[in-house]
Chain A
Amino acid sequence: VPTVVVTTVAFEALALTAARALGLADLPRVTVPHPIGGIERGRVVAYAAAAVPRLVEALITTPAPVAAPADERVDARLEAPDGLEEFQEFVWIQGWGDGLPVLPPTPKRVERLLGSACPDDVIAILPPRPGRATRQAIAVNAALAGADAEHMPIIVAAVRAVAEPAFNLQGVLTTTHPCAPLTIVSGPVARRVGINGAENALGSGVRANAVIGRALQLVLLNVGGARPGTVDRATLGHPGKFTYCLAERADASPWAPLHADRGFAVDASCVTVCAAEAPHNVNDHGSSRPEALIAMLAGTAATLGTNHLFAGGEPLVVLGPEHAEVFARAGWSKDAVKRAFWEHARVRVDRVPAENLARFVAVRPETFRAAPPDRGVPLSACAEDVLVIVAGGAGKHSSIVPGFGWSRAVTVRIDE
């Protein structure tokens, strides 16, 4: 059926990328000024009135064919400057970096990362470009990120995980929402490779966390083509888009590891990826009872601006070991924590200002239409959708990591 796409000028590059990925690069677009959301509807109607003649024209005119982008027709190898500083400049100009210095992906280094694995294995096809994430393409970006061979199985597993349809990678990479794939490594491999799940686990200081998370981001940037400012439409993003990886701290957890909750053998090594906002701290030096700690965790999570309120999804609770201990001492299972969090982390309908309430009614009518003002809206469809892990060091802090909402966490086993 002859179709025309309407988009604001700020999103035209994304619209073109999406059409190109469908083999429809010549799909006609009609643009209107940006933004159309959050402005008076009268202005939107005026934009539409001005665009009608262009829309008519686009619907009745056969568009000219569009050539493939230049980067699709080039060799795998190329000459780069020898000097490390000149090399940084070169990578930056090509648009292949994240802004921090990178290491050269020379054939020798890439070969070392690949080991005996077949370089041509296609691990995934990554939107929005779409790009072929072969084992070699992943290794090239891992080399840029500064990773070593022992990190490769985890990076490959993370790429496999984000490419699962349930993760909605196209949405995650192109949304205005600030989400980045958070890689949670659980099982014996975390200790073996030295991935930090203890003090500062979500911060700096440990190479494995830094390079694994960064390699995944560079794969998504270069192979997936999610370039910030053009196709990656994040309004602000967050620092986790440089790197966002931690280990679950099995030795301080009273419960089975995350991957066991998700159907894998307890002794397996797995990655779980979540489309995650930046972590938000829960400072609780007071609670000695689980109910009181739940109130603090839930009160921190139940905010007006979270996507979970209207998109559902899976909020992540990262419990510091001393907070986990509060639950363990009282004999609470992980499921009991999830249920209590789900029941208490709610936003009352009468806290939502009118214009947003109207929008929530449109997006999620089953929850918000004619809802009584004292209804508490949960952050996920059910208690099972709350994700709970234990990580961190000494101290009375936990983290709430809100998600994108239109994405599900995916767990895959790490093939070593």
Chain B
Amino acid sequence: MEILRPPGAAAEVSVRTLAARPRTLRDRRVAVLDNAKPNADALLNSLADGLVRQAGVASVRRWRKPSASRPADNLEEIAAAADVVVTGSAD
């Protein structure tokens, strides 16, 4: 028998181009956006420390989302203050 497909059509998503990556992290400013999950701060801060020690980044600044279930409200500010961003998604 013929049926109609339950998922229907996907919404159109305009594909966005990722920002060009730097060739090296040396002397770059890193932003850490903590997604507010338990221990995300420990994980992301340790990763940032690793970037300082192993990749020679210039600075690390940290932000925190109000809750993991809500978008950050200060993305513009973060983008202006950083050359690269490391963030968490979900758990």
Interface residues of A (CB under 8 A from B): 1-8, 10-11, 14-15, 18-27, 29, 32, 34-39, 41, 44-45, 47-49, 51-53, 55-56, 59-63, 71-72, 74-82, 87, 96, 104-107, 110, 125-126, 129-134, 136-137, 140-141, 143-144, 168, 170-171, 174-176, 218, 222-223, 225, 233, 311, 359, 362-363, 404, 406
Total A-B pairs, Cβ < 8 A: 236
Q: Which residue of A lies closest to B75 (CB)?
A: A1
Pairs A-B, 7 closest by C-beta atoms: A137-B8, A52-B50, A48-B46, A37-B38, A171-B69, A11-B90, A15-B89
Most A-side CB within 10 Å, residue of B4, B39, B43: B4
Residues of A near B78 (CB, < 8 A) are 1
Q: In the bound complex, do residue B87 and residue A5 qualify as a contact, i.e. CB atoms below 8 Å apart?
A: yes
Q: Which residue of A lies closest to B46 (CB)?
A: A48
26 A–B contacts, CB within 8 A, in A order: A1-B31, A3-B87, A4-B85, A6-B88, A7-B89, A10-B91, A11-B89, A11-B91, A14-B89, A18-B90, A22-B13, A29-B89, A44-B46, A48-B46, A53-B54, A60-B25, A72-B9, A76-B5, A77-B2, A77-B4, A96-B7, A105-B4, A106-B2, A126-B11, A137-B8, A143-B4
Residues of B near A225 (CB, < 8 A) are 7
Q: In the bound complex, do residue B69 and residue A168 qualify as a contact, i.e. CB atoms below 8 Å apart?
A: yes
User: Complex formed: what's the CA distance from A19 to B89 in Å?
Assistant: 10
Decide if the interface of chain B is mainly helix, strand, loop or mixed: loop
Q: In the bound complex, do residue A80 and residue B1 qualify as a contact, i.e. CB atoms below 8 Å apart?
A: yes
Q: In the bound complex, do residue B6 and residue A79 qualify as a contact, i.e. CB atoms below 8 Å apart?
A: no
Q: In the bound complex, do residue B5 and residue A75 qualify as a contact, i.e. CB atoms below 8 Å apart?
A: yes
Residues of A near B39 (CB, < 8 A) are 36-39, 41, 44
Interface residues of B in 1-55 (CB under 8 A from A): 1-11, 13-16, 18-25, 31, 36-44, 46-47, 49-51, 54-55
Of B21, B25, B38, B44, the contact of A6 (CB 8 Å cutoff): B44
User: Complex formed: what's the CA distance from A126 to B13 in Å?
Assistant: 12
Q: Which residue of B lies closest to A108 (CB)?
A: B2
